[in-house]
């Protein structure tokens, strides 16, 4: 995965938090260029927070068309906050946050495995500004999207002509990390109706339009 430090996906005060064609179009050229360097996708920065030589202080946004999560050694599962108005409030993102809050106990053993036993009794979902420095404190990283569901990220690095940075996560290179795998399993069980996050959280697609939209 490429950490994009030259071009912006969205700026504060813009429409980066709106699901519109322009938000996808602006990511196409950076995506093409990243793939030429062997990367699969870009993780964008909020460029106003990036100063050359201070890359680790820069705030992360999201990928070309997916939200991003980090599993930290502290037991936190963090994702960039919506408060800046620069990322999309993805439905899968929202679902994962709800699942972490509902099934934190069920996730504990996976967190213990991911973090080698650190803070195994604490699993929390946190929405806040996530910086490049947080990447170095993560044992797993994954992205979320409607079609992609949850996809592990094995490595993040800058490319040609950029300030050097690289991180290889302990989990994700050869197999899905334990927390990522557990969350994906829980998400699918909720989707299939095998688990309930809260009553009326899912809608019946066979209901009448009036009932479905209540």
Q: How many folded domains does the chain comprise? A: 1
CATH number at residue 172: 3.20.10.10
Q: Per-residue DSSP letters for 2-61?
A: EEE-SS-S--TTSSTTS--HHHHHTTHHHHHHHHHTT-S-EEEE-GGG--TT-GGGPBEE
The per-residue pLDDT for 85 is 93
Our CA dihedral for 46, 4, 149, 136, rounded to 10 degrees, sits at -80
Q: In the chain, what percentage of residues exceed pLDDT 90?
A: 76
Give 125-171 pLDDT, tens digit per residue: 999 999 999 999 999 999 999 999 999 999 999 999 999 999 999 99
The per-residue pLDDT for 120 is 61
The per-residue pLDDT for 25 is 84
State the greatest distance between any 2 C-alpha atoms of the chain, in Å, as a whole number. 57
Reply yes or no on whether the pLDDT at 211 is more than 80: no
**C-alpha closest to that of 71 among 17, 5, 120, 2:** 120
The per-residue pLDDT for 207 is 80
Residue 117 pLDDT level (bands cut at 50, 70, 90): confident
Which residues are registered as beta bridge partners of 76? 124
Reply yes or no on whether the pLDDT at 212 is more than 80: no
- 119-123 LR contacts (CB < 8 Å, sep 24+): 119/73, 119/74, 119/75, 120/75, 121/75, 122/74, 122/75, 123/75, 123/77
Domain region containing 145: 2-212
Give 7-56 pLDDT, tens digit per residue: 998 888 887 788 777 777 889 999 999 999 999 999 999 999 999 999 99
The per-residue pLDDT for 195 is 92
104 CB burial (10 A radius; 0-12, 13-18, 19+): middle
Global pTM reads: 0.92
Contact 64, 151 (CB under 8 A): no
Q: Which of 27-41, 47-61, 90-104, 111-125 has the lowest mean pLDDT?
A: 111-125
Q: Which residues does 212 contact at the CB level (< 8 Å), separation at least 6?
A: 203, 204, 205
Mean pLDDT, range 77-86, rounded to an integer: 96
| Better-scored residue on pLDDT, 116 or 77 | 77
Question: How far, rounded to the nearest angstrom, does the alpha carbon of residue 59 sit from its chain's CA centroid?
Answer: 13
Reply yes or no on whether the pLDDT at 121 is more than 80: no
Mean pLDDT, range 205-213, rounded to an integer: 77
Residue 119 pLDDT level (bands cut at 50, 70, 90): low
Average pLDDT, the chain: 92
């Amino acid at each position: 995965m490429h950490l994009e430090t030259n071009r912006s996906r969205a700026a504060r005060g813009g429409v980066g938090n709106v699901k519109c064609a322009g938000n996808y179009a602006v990511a196409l050229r950076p995506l093409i260029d990243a793939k030429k360097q062997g990367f699969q996708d870009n993780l964008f920065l909020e460029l106003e927070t990036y100063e050359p030589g201070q890359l680790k202080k820069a705030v992360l946004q999201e990928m070309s068309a997916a939200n991003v999560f980090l599993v930290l050694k502290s037991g936190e599962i963090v994702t960039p906050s919506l408060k800046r108005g620069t990322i999309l409030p993805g439905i899968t993102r929202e679902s994962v946050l709800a699942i972490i809050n509902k099934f934190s106990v069920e996730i504990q053993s996976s967190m213990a495995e991911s973090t080698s036993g650190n803070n195994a009794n604490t699993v929390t979902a946190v929405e806040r500004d996530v910086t490049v420095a947080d990447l170095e404190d993560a044992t797993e990283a994954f992205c979320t999207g409607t079609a992609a569901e949850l996809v592990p990220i094995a490595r993040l690095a800058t490319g040609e002509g950029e300030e050097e940075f690289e991180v290889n996560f302990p989990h994700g290179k050869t197999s899905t990390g334990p927390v990522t795998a557990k969350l994906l399993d829980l998400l699918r069980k909720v989707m299939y109706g095998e688990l309930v996050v809260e009553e009326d959280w899912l809608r019946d697609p066979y209901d009448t339009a009036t009932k479905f939209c209540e």
